[in-house]
Amino acid sequence: IKKNHPKEDSGIVDFGEAGAENNVLPVSETESSSAKKTRKNRYICSQCGKGHKCSYELRRHETVHSEVKPFHCDQCEKRYKTKVALKQHHRVHTGERPYVCSHCGRGFRSAGTLQSHVRTHNGERPFVCSICGKGFIQHQILIGHLRWHRGEKPFLCTVCGKSFRTSGALLVHSRTHTDERPKSCEHCGKRFRRCYGLTIHRRIHTGERPYTCSQCGKGFRNLCDLRRHESVHSEARPFHCDQCEKRYKTKGCLKQHQKVHQANQHTQVSNPTAVNFVGGGSNNLKVSQCICRVTQASGHTPAHCVTNVLHPAAALKNT
């Protein structure tokens, strides 16, 4: 049986009057065939003005502006705007990762995710911030970055009221309330709230250390560890205590120091000179000078009192 198909003009389906409704740019009959071939993206979105090659692409794009999610997963309660998105989601349940990185062998559920990942290897950052010039591997990351410049945090947690720049950040945060850990390590079964935590953890098993110090060549599993290590080679001490004049190379060292001030506020000392010991003074004090506020016992060293203040439950258990 011969089927009737809509007439085609230069490879684009002619939908008659429907074309006007879909904001299709007209093609002049006097245009040359080569000119017609160069006229792409004739189907224009009425919401954002983005052009598309055919009506199918336009209809698929229009779902971005809609909140309707007609495609639902038969294994969980999640719903999606397109069939393609639902198909990618199904791979969460099946474990299928058909798109494999040629650099490191890591698999991904979608071609788009693989494309973004490859940029971490080749250094490509096509999405550039117009304010500061910083580049990103994904457009969505750039959007979140721009909100940082503008101070926008439109995604609000309904449990605690905390707000976030991206829906992904809100989703990860919400798992702190439910203790949901959907990401699991295929090597040991350990579970994580977010993909990034799982990615860093995997490197314990694979031995991968992609971040290398330019000064000594030492490798690290994540960028944070590298940044912390680089302070070893620098004399800069950007972290300063707001209660005294001491300065430190890392935030961790500063936090450790601030515990001394915290302990001083909770520890009662019989001899005023013992306060100087806790804060970094003389080392020649007698052990009987310090009275612990937690255990109410004397004869402790100031360092012992600090430990008791920071861990009161353990201190009382041992009395």
The CATH number covering residue 142 comes to: 3.30.160.60
Which residue segment(s) compose the domain that 117 sits in?
75-206
Residue with the bigger pLDDT between 31 and 202: it is 202
Tell me which of 138, 172, 206 is where a domain ends: 206
Contact assessment for residue 247 and residue 271, using Cβ atoms and an 8 Å cutoff: no
* Whether the predicted pLDDT of 289 surpasses 90: no
Does pLDDT of 11 surpass 50? no
Between CA 105 and CA 186 the distance in angstroms is: 15
Do residue 151 and residue 262 come from a single domain? Answer: no
First to last CA, the chain: 93
Share of the chain above pLDDT 90, in %: 28
Query: Does residue 20 register a pLDDT over 60?
Result: no
Coil, helix or strand at residue 191: strand
**What pLDDT, on a 0 to 100 scale, did the predictor assign at position 154?**
92
Assess whether pLDDT exceeds 90 at residue 287: no
Q: Could you tell me the pLDDT band of residue 283, with boundaries at 50, 70 and 90?
A: very low
Domain-embedded: residue 262: yes
Structure tokens at 65: 């502006």
Report, as an integer, the average pLDDT of 199-225: 91
- Quick: pLDDT tens for 90-113: 998 888 999 999 988 889 989 989
Q: Mean pLDDT in the chain?
A: 77
| pLDDT level of residue 304 (50, 70, 90 thresholds) | low
Query: Binning pLDDT at 50, 70 and 90, where does residue 145 land?
Result: very high
What gap in Å lies between CA 145 and CA 159, rounded to an integer?
25
Q: How many domains does the chain have?
A: 3
Please tell me whether residues 280 and 172 are part of one structural domain: no
- Do 195 and 181 form a contact (C-beta atoms < 8 A)? no
